[in-house]
Structure 1
Amino acid sequence: MTSFLCLQCGVQFEATQAPPRRCPICEDERQFVRWEGQAWITPEELAATHRLAMKDDAGVLAFGIEPRFAIGQRAQLVETPHGNVLWDCIPMVSDEAVAEINRRGGLAAIAISHCHFYSAMAQWSEAFGGVPIYLHADDRQWIMRPHPAIVSWQGDTLRLNPSVTLIRCGGHFAGSQVLHWARDGGNAILTGDTVQVTPTRRHVSFMYSYPNQIPLNAAAVRRIAAALEPFDFDDIRGAWWDLNIIGGGKSAFDASVARYLAAIA
């Protein structure tokens, strides 16, 4: 029995003897099936050709896969005095990554922005003794590998500890969530691609589907803005290496919302 990974999106599926027939996440209009057709890879095959990279990303320890695999996102370690949280996830776990997180105080929880980044979340949880994985209940249909550690929370906000709050923004997916991190030196929001940091690193944008270039409607963008309005933040940390707005994040977000709404009006 093998928990196969989709070669296109990197999401891990429930253990089976043979690869699944299809990937519903890639068949959804927000993603796409490989031009060559659906394909799968085992965790062992992935480890034979790729490595887990750990490095500092604008002051935060982050994890990615090299060479780039699937969507190519990176995970971030939210370190707090009340327990550490892994934000978003990647399709590979390594002994070195586990040891480094344990050296920094271990892991209390995992939280993931949306289903494109669910990847090997169950393996990450098991590597730290089955820590809870917080996913919004509105996205439970996209869970391809059910696991006892998954917590399907409901509502608009969930405080994981005095420093970390999950905020359901919707938009990209119904249950898309961001993480607010209250910390010394400047609060931050970690957004996945619910709020996409652009290459200028001075603005953000919004999409229903990034690869298929389907914009997000005005009502959804206004809802995201309303969900984040009560929270103060200096930094916006996106889904990929170095795509961060460091300083002035709240002003950049507000200006970007106005710019986006004007563009699609």
Structure 2
Amino acid sequence: MPSYICTTCGVGYAETDAPRDVCLICADERQYVNARGQGWTTLEELQSDHVNELLELEPGLWGLGSKPQVAIGQRALVVERPDGGVMWDCTPVITDEALRAIATRGGIRAMAISHPHFFSTMVDWSRALGGVPVYLHEDHRDYVMRPDPAIRYWSGETQEIASGITLVRTGGHFTGSSVLHWAEGAEGRGVLLTGDSIMVVPDTSWVSFMYSYPNLIPMNARMVERIVKAVKPFAYDRIYAGWWDRVLDHAAKAAVQRSAERYIAAIR
């Protein structure tokens, strides 16, 4: 039986004879069911006409996407390490070429995902990488549409999954929304990989915060303050948000603070 993948959000479901009528992730008010109707695909179908795109973003960090774009354009980030790297977030397509490229860069020892809109084909990726653990905050448990022994639920506010690589629960977009802090990134000044918990905006000198991005539902002031407080203990100078072009390349910590102040002033 195939694992059906929602064509709108890109999330893979447990194997069934036929897909559901509606994707549960898209039916949530933070996402949307396609106005043209629910659509489904499978990994095998995607592999027939898609490839993985790999781009080096800075020394020790590269991105991995699906081309042409699938669903909302999710792309993964891989932090290279000599003892096995960490994949952050996920992309639906998996190709043999990408797996070989990963192997030449030291392999993957763990995966971690910011929130349900990036769960994608996480189980297929884990299996293709030899059954590596997939770290999700326990508050995401009800959003996992394809349970698997590889999924490791972590609790609390932080979780170190490798030396210098720490998951931080920010909340906001989802209760369990998280970011990844990479201490050695940006030439040792620190990097945040944020999914869309903290979104770099198009001019790339500010960030913003939303409860729902496609439905334009803002976040309240208390949650914005919580997000800023969650990342405040960490040193970081650069942010990679959830899409290729959303990178704030310097003075990121100050930008988060002034962006939160601007946001809160606007909604009040």
Q: Work out whether the TM-score is over 0.5.
A: yes
Q: Structure 1: which 4+ aligned runs deviate by more than 6 Å?
A: none
User: For residues 149 and 88 of structure 2, what CA distance do their matches in structure 1 show?
Assistant: 19
Tell me the alpha carbon deviations over residues 20-43 of structure 1, each in whole angstroms, 9 at most, x when there is no partner: 222110000000001111110111
Q: SS of the residue aligned with 2:87?
A: strand
Aligned: 1:27 with 2:39:
no
Q: Normalising by structure 2, report the TM-score.
A: 0.96
Tell me the alpha carbon deviations over residues 30-78 of structure 1, each in whole angstroms, 9 at most, x when there is no partner: 0000111111011121122322111123553111111111010211101
Which residue does the alignment assign to 1:243?
A: 246
Q: CA deviation at 1:174?
A: 0.5
Tell me the alpha carbon deviations over residues 72-119 of structure 1, each in whole angstroms, 9 at most, x when there is no partner: 021110123453100000111111111111111110100000000000
Q: What RMSD over aligned residues (CA atoms) do the two structures have, in Å?
A: 1.1
* 2:235 aligns with one of 232, 235, 240: 232
Identify unmatched segments of 5+ residues in structure 1: none
Which residue does the alignment assign to 1:10?
A: 10
Which residue does the alignment assign to 2:259?
A: 256
Tell me the alpha carbon deviations over residues 132-163 of structure 1, each in whole angstroms, 9 at most, x when there is no partner: 00000011110011010000111000011221
Contact persistence 1:204–1:252 (CA under 8 A):
yes
User: For residues 80 and 259 of structure 1, what CA distance do their matches in structure 2 show?
Assistant: 37
Partner amino acid for 1:37?
Answer: G
Aligned: 1:196 with 2:199:
yes
User: For residues 127 and 37 of structure 2, what CA distance do their matches in structure 1 show?
Assistant: 31
User: For residues 63 and 100 of structure 2, what CA distance do their matches in structure 1 show?
Assistant: 14
Matches within 5 A, 1:169-188: 169-183=170-184, 185=187, 186-188=189-191
Query: Percent of aligned pairs with the same residue?
Result: 49
Which residue does the alignment assign to 2:50?
A: 50
Which residue does the alignment assign to 1:205?
A: 208
Q: CA deviation at 1:242?
A: 2.3
User: For residues 94 and 49 of structure 1, what CA distance do their matches in structure 2 show?
Assistant: 11
Which residue does the alignment assign to 1:94?
A: 95
Matches within 5 A, 1:15-164: 15-59=15-59, 60-164=61-165
User: For residues 83 and 257 of structure 1, what CA distance do their matches in structure 2 show?
Assistant: 35
Q: SS of the residue aligned with 1:191?
A: strand
User: For residues 118 and 244 of structure 1, what CA distance do their matches in structure 2 show?
Assistant: 21
